[in-house]
């Protein structure tokens, strides 16, 4: 992709950047990608409208119109994961909403950056949604072809089968996981970077069955139970949360660059 002057990121917690702490709030792969773009195309304007917990219909209705009105060159759109893991969710309907969002953005003249879902067979509970994620990914590939978009295919990337790419909650990426997604996304859009997302993690011995089960129980108590409770009560982690970067402004308005 040629010079990028304005980048808008849309989606849910993945794009908001949860579990990648910054001085204020979260950083995440989208912020990191914007920094890579800025290094090549100084003066980049960037907005991040993603909000944790958002469903695909909310993303298309609330965020897509703002991205279209912004006149951005590049719009990333990643959503549907919160829908897919819900019981009774229909992959075909989620895919139709995603394609509607892509169509609107492409009609505005912007390029779209799509993402497939991760292969989560190694994650307890989440592995139950494996087949639905795989089906949704097939739709995403088709949408990308039909609308001539860019696509970051996360599913086959082996680095994300390592626990160190994930935060303690096993649902969101770690800081290093976000870093690697940003590197892969930069590669897809043709922005040069110094690091390689493929770099292997240092070897560590596998812990035994007992320690694994203890970790699983801790995770279920601290992270899974609250998630189930919110779903049961019809609440979302994104209730009363606003986009962290709602305006399309220079990424470094005060001329300072982060590391």
* CATH code at position 120: 3.40.50.1110
Q: How confident is the model at residue 149 (pLDDT cuts 50, 70, 90)?
A: very high
Asked, for residue 153, whether it belongs to a domain, the answer is: yes
Full 3-state SS string of the chain: CCCCCEEEEEECHHHHCCCCECCCCECHHHHHHHHHHHHHCCCCEEEECCCCCCCHHHHHHHHHHHHHHHCCCEEEEECCHHHHCCCCCCHHHHHHHHHHHHHHHHHCCCEEEEECCCCCCCCCCHHHHHHHHHHHHHHHHHHHHHCCCEEECCCCCHHHHCHHHECCCCCCECHHHHHHHHHHHHHHHCCCCCCCCCCCCCCCCCCCHHHHHHHHHHHHHHHHHHHHHHHHCCCCCCCCCCCCEEEEEECCCCCCCCC
- CA dihedral defined by 165, 116, 138, 91, rounded to 10 degrees? 100
Asked, for residue 257, whether it belongs to a domain, the answer is: no
Asked, for residue 256, whether it belongs to a domain, the answer is: no
Asked, for residue 88, whether it belongs to a domain, the answer is: yes
Mean pLDDT of 129-151: 95
Asked, for residue 238, whether it belongs to a domain, the answer is: yes
Residue 107 has pLDDT above 60, yes or no: yes
Number of structural domains (the chain) is 1
Question: What's the pTM value of the predicted model, to 2 decimals?
Answer: 0.87
Domain of residue 142 covers: 6-250
Residue 230 C-alpha from the chain's centroid: 21
Residue 224 has pLDDT above 70, yes or no: no
Asked, for residue 16, whether it belongs to a domain, the answer is: yes
Q: What is the pLDDT of residue 254?
A: 63
Q: For 71-101, how does the pLDDT look when each residue is reduced to its tens digit (9 = 90+)?
A: 999 999 999 999 988 878 899 999 999 999 9
Asked, for residue 258, whether it belongs to a domain, the answer is: no
Give the lowest-confidence range in 48-62, 175-189, 225-239: 225-239
Asked, for residue 228, whether it belongs to a domain, the answer is: yes
CA distance to 1, 81, 103, 125, per residue, from 85 (Å): 33, 6, 24, 10
């Amino acid at each position: 992709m040629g010079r990028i002057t304005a980048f808008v990121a849309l989606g849910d917690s993945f794009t908001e950047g949860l579990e990648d702490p910054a001085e204020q709030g979260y950083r995440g792969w989208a912020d990191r990608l914007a920094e890579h773009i800025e290094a090549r195309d100084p003066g980049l304007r960037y907005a991040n409208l993603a909000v944790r917990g958002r469903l695909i219909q909310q993303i298309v209705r609330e965020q897509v119109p703002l991205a279209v009105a912004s006149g951005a060159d590049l719009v990333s759109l990643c959503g549907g994961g919160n829908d897919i893991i819900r019981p009774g969710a229909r992959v075909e309907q989620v895919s139709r909403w995603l394609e509607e969002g892509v169509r609107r953005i492409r009609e505005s003249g912007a390029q779209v950056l799509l993402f497939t879902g991760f292969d989560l067979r190694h994650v307890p509970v989440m592995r139950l949604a494996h087949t639905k994620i795989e089906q949704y990914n097939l739709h995403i590939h088709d949408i990308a072809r039909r609308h001539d978009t860019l696509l970051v295919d996360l599913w086959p990337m082996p680095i994300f089968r390592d626990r160190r790419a994930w935060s303690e909650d096993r649902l969101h990426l770690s800081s290093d996981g976000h870093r690697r997604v940003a590197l892969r996304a930069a590669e897809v859009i043709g922005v040069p970077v110094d690091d390689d997302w493929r770099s292997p993690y240092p070897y560590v011995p596998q812990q035994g069955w007992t320690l694994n089960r203890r970790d699983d129980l801790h995770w279920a108590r601290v992270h899974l139970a609250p998630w189930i409770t919110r779903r049961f009560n019809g609440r979302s982690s994104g209730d009363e949360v606003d986009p962290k970067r709602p305006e399309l402004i220079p990424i470094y308005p005060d001329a300072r660059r982060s590391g």
